[in-house]
Structure 1
């Protein structure tokens, strides 16, 4: 779809540019009377913002909200096509394939026979201590994304649909991971000693495992699923024999590898859990954004000096945006502009959004709205004598988080050398953690 730059190339009615993909609903009489044609006519180019009054006059509330949620670059730029399925807006064949798989999954989920898992079950899957490859394989098995022979045969791929282990029945998730005699041996001989014949489907087995609320058992199950899948592929593509002891050894190795990974995990574990004072002469600006699917969002920023004293605090409400990540990057641009207006020249910016920090650190150009706003932020850097951007834990960003979440209450208020009374304890707590023991 079109990403709006200056809007001169995009036709309001005939081009695909409004998020959501729904039809534009507008007043035909006003539309024709005002001779509206290009999106540029809906933009105030002096302030690089939407002409809200005009948009609200012409379009219905739903379309108005969608249009106003599109973030405009401060520097305009050309209209370009982008792929909305990725954060950088770049299309690849992999992304196209993923998009088609999501459509297929949605169609399958709409059938009455499909069991929809609650979010907590997916959260347990991804939060486990297992290796990422084990978690992904388990997720693909539950979601029906593995290229099993029965599925390939049903899609008219020339392949024998029988099980790779026993060749006695069709190879699907339920048989390969549960009902096959080879899989039963593995589960019963494992440290879990599971009698899987008590379950009718692999999904039912996973639901029962999550209900146990045993993190070690969940990680072991994921490692076992991966080991079975690997053994199946070794039979299909490397003509190796199936050996139960070999599969169990692979499970054990995966669990040991996960333990070593957790023990040696990088700098994320070493991040401070509390706010830290900036260097002498530097102002630290913490910022955050709140995001609401069905309503306006808010931004919050607090600036403090090397003594921990508050220089300024600001809330902005309302803002409309397309996603939580876009809200975060808009908060970053807004904070940088505030720092310039406040006369700060040596600044440290901190965010608790890891996705934003990774995009900032990647320094690669993209075609998305996210890339455009990050580009705006990079252009603002020239206004500072010294600038740095860091990622912190949420517990090191509590004041900005409070301001963002309560932006509606303190809509567009500015505090100089203070914060709202309700946030006093958060500032006090940040300062007290900097004092030596016994002070």
Structure 2
């Protein structure tokens, strides 16, 4: 796929430069009147960005949103090809393998169980804080590869499809892990307190909605609970051991992995601050955040504070089109760094709650994707500082920047110097009190 630089090497109607391929539904007559052939013809030389007026006259709204979300580089270099299926844009054998698997999966009938799950769900499930065997069972449930009685009868292996626990109805995957009366007690008595009798969407939809929004700990509890429900069911079927709700819950707790040692690697083992901390003497902390709305636009927010926690500057930017949440975070970082330069800060400690962006900044690897280009441009701007670094903080420690991002639509494009809106003062004072030095 083509990545837009100056747009002079990309043909609008023949080359693939949008995620859904070449533009098809468009007003070719208007495009011909304006002589639109190259992508560079859609870029305004006056404002240095996309010519929104021309684009809206030619393309339908969905295509307009995607074009405007393409971040044009500050330094317009030549266009280049990149691999769009990973965040760095570089082709690897692993990326090609995943692409082939995706093509095969897309050819499966729409009734396939695997078709309903998104990449975000698989990431949340495999990254959950649970043992590998628990994650594997959840994966098997999603693939319909669990030997429950209804499936065994269908394959001619068993004779009776009735659930062995409640003996009330056919044992399907949804029934075995959700609808069975004994299993519903386990879900409700657990720390999750889920009322399964109110859930009629099926196990797949339930997991999709729950795990995508949950953190690693909650996702891990879900996976562990599902595993022990299955384990307790099998103890009853093969050993005659009664299904005990309290025993299931105790076993699920014991399945939680032990805390990782300091030598362990991986995102889950790293220790990050969960609250805002004051910067060292002589430096300023710049927190930034992006809030993506349902229409693909985003609000940006940033705040600069000193060692006493006092706000020296804050800013918002609204109606910014983005392709993904992480791209919104990268765009926000580039915007915040440029603004810090204009405001005269030279010793800056950046702070983000986007772990993926933090990892890309730390890796210092060069990529070909839009995301990698924005991170590289942010690094290029860092030459204007005497000191600059990026740290990660959990969302609870980024509340002020998050407030500005979520309310950017109301504030619009605005900069505050040594002042903040009254509504944000409680958050600022809370950070000051929680980070006060111990006397």
Question: 1:416: Cα distance to partner?
Answer: 0.7
Give unmatched runs, 5+ long, in structure 2. Answer: 192-220, 240-249
Q: Contact 1:288–1:351 (CA<8 Å) still a contact in 2?
A: yes
Instruction: Report how far residue 326 of structure 1 moved.
Output: 0.6
Q: Residue 137 of structure 1 contacts residue 225 of structure 1 at CA under 8 Å; is this kept in 2?
A: no
2:130 is aligned to 130
Equivalent residue for 1:260? Answer: 258
Alpha-carbon distance, 1:411 to partner: 0.4
Q: For residues 47 and 393 of structure 1, do their structure 2 counterparts lie closer, same or farther at Cα, with a shift above 3 Å needed?
A: same
Preserved contact between residue 348 and residue 387 of structure 2 (Cα < 8 Å): yes
Name the SS for the 1:29 alignment partner. Answer: helix
SS of alignment partner, residue 108 of structure 1? coil
Contact preservation (8 Å) 1:287, 1:302: yes
Residue 107 of structure 1 aligns to a residue whose secondary structure is coil
Distance 1:66 1:96 in 2: 22
Residue number in structure 2 paired with 1:34: 34
- Write the deviation string for residues 262-288 of structure 1: whole angstroms up to 9, x where unpaired: 687888674333211111111111000
> Which structure 2 residues correspond to residues 37-436 of structure 1 after superposition, within 5 A?
37-44=37-44, 48-91=48-91, 92-104=95-107, 107-109=110-112, 129-131=129-131, 133-144=132-143, 174-175=151-152, 200-208=171-179, 209=183, 212-213=187-188, 214=190, 218-219=223-224, 221-222=226-227, 258-261=256-259, 270-435=271-436
SS of alignment partner, residue 74 of structure 2:
coil
Question: Whole-Å Cα distance in 2 between the matches of residues 273 and 28 of structure 1?
Answer: 53
- Distance (whole Å) between structure 2 residues aligned to residue 315 and residue 354 of structure 1: 22
User: Residue by residue, what CA displacement relative to the aligned partner does 1:155-188 show, whole Å, maximum 9, x if unpaired?
Assistant: xxxxxxxx9xxxxxxx999449x9979xx9xx99
CA distance 1:94–1:206, change in 2 (3 Å): farther
8 Å CA contact 2:65, 2:296 repeated in 1: no
Q: Secondary structure at the match of 1:281?
A: coil
Task: Say if 1:354 and 1:391, in contact at 8 Å, map to a contact too.
Answer: yes
Q: Which runs of 5+ in 1 are unaligned?
A: 149-162, 164-170, 189-193, 229-242, 245-251
Match of 1:151 in 2: none
Once residues 134 and 22 of structure 2 are traced to their aligned partners in structure 1, the CA distance between those partners, rounded to angstroms, is: 35
RMSD: 4.1
Count of aligned residue pairs for this structure pair: 380
Question: Relative to structure 1, is the Cα distance of residues 9 and 217 closer, same or farther in structure 2, using a 3 angstrom cutoff?
Answer: closer
CA–CA distance in structure 2, aligned partners of residues 354 and 49 of structure 1: 29
Verify the 8 A CA contact 1:311 1:418 in the aligned structure 2: yes
8 Å contact from structure 1 (residues 199, 205) kept in 2: no
User: Judging changes above 3 Å, is the alpha-carbon distance between structure 1 residues 349 and 32 closer, same or farther for their aligned structure 2 residues?
Assistant: same
Secondary structure of residue in 1 paired with 2:313 = strand
Aligned-residue offset at 1:118? 12
Residue 127 to residue 35, structure 1, CA distance change in 2 (3 Å): closer
d(CA) in 2 for partners of 1:423, 1:289: 17
Change (3 A) 1:30 1:200: same
Q: Contact 1:141 / 1:173 at 8 angstroms: preserved in 2?
A: no
Distance apart, 1:223 and its partner CA:
6.8
The answer on whether the counterparts of 1:312 and 1:414 sit within 8 Å (CA) in structure 2 is yes
Distance 2:292 2:150 in 1: 38
Cα distance, 1:325 vs structure 2: 0.8
Is the 8 Å Cα contact of residues 70 and 321 (structure 1) preserved in structure 2? yes
Q: Are 2:6 and 1:6 aligned? A: yes
- Is the 8 Å Cα contact of residues 128 and 219 (structure 1) preserved in structure 2? no
Q: Secondary structure in 2 aligned to 1:138? A: helix
Structure 2 length normalisation: TM-score?
0.74
SS in structure 2 of the partner of residue 64 of structure 1: helix
Q: Give the Cα separation in 1 of the matches to 2:124 and 2:167.
A: 20
1:81-112 deviation line (CA, Å, top 9, x unaligned): 22322212234222213422541467234xxx
**CA distance in structure 2 between the aligned counterparts of 1:338 and 1:220, rounded to whole angstroms:** 48
Q: Which moved more, 1:407-416 or 1:2-11?
A: 2-11
SS of the residue 1:286 aligns to:
strand
